[in-house]
Amino acid sequence: MKKRTVIAFAGERIIRLLIPLLFAMFFTIPLQVYFERLQKGQVTGSYFSFYPSVWRMIPYPEGTLTWSHMWFVTYLFVYCILLLPVFALFKIKTLRQFKEYFADKLSNPFVAIFMCIPLAVYYYTLYLKYPEQQSLLDDWFLFIFSLTLVIYGYMVASSDRFWLTCEKYRFLFLSFAAICIILLFYNYWWNFNIPKQKNNRFFVYGTLNALHIWLIILAAAGFVKRYLNFTNSFLQYANQAVYPLYIIHQTIIVALGYYVVQWQLPAFMKLTVLTLCSFLSVFIAYHYFIRPFIVTRILFGMKLKKKQKDPQLESGADIIM
């Protein structure tokens, strides 16, 4: 936003989020639905006979049209559009200076930890009534929870002090997160014993979940600041690949997995074969069919220029946000 007008930002989000989303929904994700229904015996014909059902525009599961794993992009596009007035206001010098001042205050390690409180409140008030659906509509827990994280990122990510705090206390954040995760596994996750009603056990569950999610984010930011704050030719190449690989990876895994799971081999060997074949297929698709061409770069959310003066501008984070 420092280098773009609000209108330019909105236009770029349409090109780099909405277009890849629609392309995936109509041209890559349907293959996942096909193999799912083939495995369940709900269809028997070829993919070419199945594909026209996508254009009936009937949402999954009754129909074929779905955003599947691209729900993340759907939500992010909506967040960007909803927050445009906020972005516009904070381009005003006085408000921008207030934002920077506020971000520095949030950089205190104890204050940073307590930023998880709103996330915990969402668990207490919304989690049971609106379980995670990734459907955008009537999905208030996940929608507001994730929107809060986007707002947090917008408020603090430009603060050098915040990054230094994450770096300095990264082991502390990670240790507390690990304790929360151990408690969650022991009391809730291992036997899938998730609370279904409001009681003391539920409030502990919500608190531990909110705390461990936020602490992992702080710890990850700290370790990245300490150990990955550089670039090289491999990272430049890999950063460009982040978004296209995200778009196609699940479709390829599902398609290959349909055949691999039918082999008469031990599960570990099938997992190994599926992992290697999926990685190789995704890499080939990206390197030889997506990366070289202007049209495919647009459809998969990449910038048109293959080389950037500043390599970090072509990072996966820049593609998404």
Answer yes or no: is pLDDT of 319 > 70: no
Q: What is the pTM of this model?
A: 0.87
pLDDT (tens digit per residue) in 176-207: 999 999 999 999 999 999 999 999 999 999 99
Question: Higher model confidence: residue 96 or residue 144?
Answer: 144
User: What are phi and psi for residue 262, nearest 5 degrees?
Assistant: -85, -10
Split at pLDDT 50, 70, 90, the class of 313 is very low
pLDDT (tens digit per residue) in 11-62: 999 999 999 999 999 999 999 999 999 999 999 899 999 999 999 999 998 9
Burial 168-194 (b: 16+ CB within 10 A, else e): ebbeebbebbeebbebbeeebeeeeee
DSSP classification of residue 58: P
CA angle 218, 220, 222 (to 5 degrees): 70
* pLDDT value, residue 242: 94
Tokens of 305: 């220029």
Closest by alpha carbon to 77, among 11, 3, 7? Answer: 11
Closest by alpha carbon to 278, among 292, 294, 293, 261? Answer: 261
Alpha carbon dihedral 141, 146, 148, 152, in 10-degree steps, equals 160
What lies within 8 Å, CB to CB, of 180 at 6+ separation is 208, 209, 211, 212, 215
Q: Which amino acid is at 256?
A: L
The C-alpha atoms of residue 299 and residue 20 are separated, in whole angstroms, by: 5
Q: Would you tell me how many other CB atoms lie within 10 Å of the CB of residue 17?
A: 24
H helices, E strands: number in the chain? 17, 0
pLDDT (tens digit per residue) in 244-297: 999 999 999 999 999 999 999 999 999 999 999 999 999 999 999 999 999 999
